[in-house]
Amino acid sequence: MRIGIIALLQESNTFIGQPTTFAHFEQDLLACGPAVRERLAGTHHEVGGMFHALDDAGEEVVPIFAARAYPFGVIQAAAIERLLGMMFAELDKAGPLDGVLVAPHGATVSEPFPDVDGHWLGELRRRLGPEVPIIGTLDPHANLSPAMAEAATALIAYRTNPHLDQRSRGIDAARMMLEAVRGKLRPTMAAVFPPLAINIEKQHTAEEPCHSLYRFADEQLLDDKLLVNSIILGFPYADVAEMGSATIAVTHNDLPLARRLAGELAGYLWKHREEFAGDFVSIDEALDKAERLSGSVCLLDMGDNVGGGSPGDGTLLALAMHERKLPKSFVCLCDAESVAQAQAMGEWGTGNFRVGGKADRLHGPPLACEATVVGLFDGRFEEPQPRHGGFTKFDQGPTAVIRTDHGLTVMLTSRRAPPFSLRQLTAHGVIPEEHHLLVAKGVNAPVAAYKEVCKHFIRVNTPGCTTADIERLPYEHRRKPMFPWEREGDFRF
């Protein structure tokens, strides 16, 4: 059997003014043909799991195309047209295929196509015909669309957030594909779309309310007629009609059962919808609480969530910590201008800085401080353990670490880098255990790494393009009615 592999992953935040360009994919991942295997086969990513399962089964793997960019703004028209042109040119060169494994993100938006994943999966289905199985994975932060569900034979979402099971879900998708192409299985999928946006603050799968939700989903799996079920938590920072939660059930050739079980899972979500609204802790409340706690505290800066597309230079928490003169504090800011200033000063040089707050006016003004340069680095590091997103290699560009006269340590990077790895700190001379307060620009993703050193986590309701208070964002295209904006009404499944 010849099984193709295609991946296109980007989480697009439509509330960001700057677009995602082709260069963003070149900086992260852009591979065709055999280069896909070279880049992803040994990783914790779902595509790594796909390669593993197919190689183990002895089937011919046909790597076609893989592209990924860090979350950012809407993809430019020229960029998405070029990416899709490359994808389908490689597909044409691949020859006849018995099936295609796909890895869309599920929350990708471009200027011409608000539902990028529905568009390219639909085109893939048109080219392959109705009988060739298309089976893939989804990030649970997808905004699943009917077009995506219609094009794919089966879709399997990761079951953890932080995302630590991507490789396992890729293995699941590949094994389902093997059974399908050998004629032993006929995957049959149903999807249900409750009018509900789950607050990002409530999307940690090991914490309530998600813990009980996934326990309910696991109980469904006791029915051996159900092959797999998935919960789509949604990505609220994409102002598109598809934004929101969804549920999926896949059976062996039993569509009524798939519809019933996906509906039951959606019904659970709707019944418990009030539990999935956010609890908002202000900056002052968070710092008051943190000062009373012993042991390291991780302050999750939800409004400047790099993993959700934010600029990573938000200063509001840093300003508050600096003003309070809180010692043993740490924050990372993306600020190439300040990195260049630190390089000009050299290590142990001291001077006046204005760090962060340069990308826009949403995330706070620059922090003015006197600081000493305590380290200069190239910004490259590797993470050997499974962490959120399956990333193993990082490059945040030239990096400087400075320490202010008030005891705040600031890591300055030239490129945005999500806080998915403690190696981001330790590779640059920062010992996290020596700090009482560590700011991580995320919501749930950093927990997988920072739980090794932090005893406490506080999610802080900072403003910004990834604010947890989504009712304040200027949506124009979302579905109506939808919880939490419209709290009345009913949902029938």
Residue 147 has pLDDT above 90, yes or no: yes
The confidence score (pLDDT) of residue 9 equals 98
The confidence score (pLDDT) of residue 384 equals 83
Q: What pLDDT, in 10s, does the model give residues 41-64?
A: 999 999 999 999 999 999 999 999
Stretch among 35-49, 94-108, 170-184, 373-387 having the lowest mean pLDDT:
373-387
The amino acid present at 136, given as its one-letter code, is G
The confidence score (pLDDT) of residue 16 equals 94
Q: Any idea what DSSP says for residue 75? A: B
Average pLDDT on 7-18 reads 96
The confidence score (pLDDT) of residue 256 equals 98
Residue 491 has pLDDT above 90, yes or no: no
Q: What pLDDT, in 10s, does the model give residues 355-399?
A: 999 998 889 999 999 999 999 999 999 988 877 777 778 999 999
Between strands 329-334 and 408-413, the pairing is parallel
Query: Over the chain, what is the mean pLDDT?
Result: 96
Give me the percent of the chain exceeding a pLDDT of 90: 95
- Alpha-carbon distances, residue 459 vs 285, 303, 442 (angstroms): 11, 10, 9
The confidence score (pLDDT) of residue 86 equals 98
Local confidence band at 492 (pLDDT 50, 70, 90 cut-offs)? confident
The confidence score (pLDDT) of residue 387 equals 78
Local confidence band at 486 (pLDDT 50, 70, 90 cut-offs)? very high
How far, in Å, CA of 319 to CA of 306, rounded?
Answer: 19
How far, in Å, CA of 400 to CA of 414, rounded?
Answer: 9
Residue 300, token pair as written in the block: 């999750």
- Alpha-carbon distances, residue 106 vs 93, 189, 328 (angstroms): 26, 16, 39
Residue 23, token pair as written in the block: 């260069």
The three-class DSSP label of residue 470 is helix
Average pLDDT on 97-121 reads 98
Residue 493 has pLDDT above 80, yes or no: no
Residue 142 — φ and ψ, nearest 5°?
A: -70, 155
What is the reported pTM? Answer: 0.94
Q: In what order do the strands lie in the sheet with 297-301?
A: 350-355, 367-377, 399-404, 408-413, 329-334, 437-440, 297-301, 456-460
Residue 421 has pLDDT above 80, yes or no: yes
Residue 166 has pLDDT above 90, yes or no: yes
Average pLDDT on 475-493 reads 89
**β-pair partners for 372:** 350, 403
Local confidence band at 149 (pLDDT 50, 70, 90 cut-offs)? very high
Residue 147, token pair as written in the block: 């077009």
Which residues, at least 6 apart from 5, have a Cβ–Cβ distance to it below 8 Å? 36, 47, 50, 51, 61, 62, 63, 64, 66, 100, 101, 102, 103
Give me the percent of the chain exceeding a pLDDT of 70: 100
Local confidence band at 488 (pLDDT 50, 70, 90 cut-offs)? confident
The confidence score (pLDDT) of residue 204 equals 97
Cα dihedral 258, 264, 265, 266 sign: positive
Q: What pLDDT, in 10s, does the model give residues 63-85?
A: 999 999 999 999 999 999 999 99
Q: What pLDDT, in 10s, does the model give residues 237-258?
A: 999 999 999 999 999 999 999 9
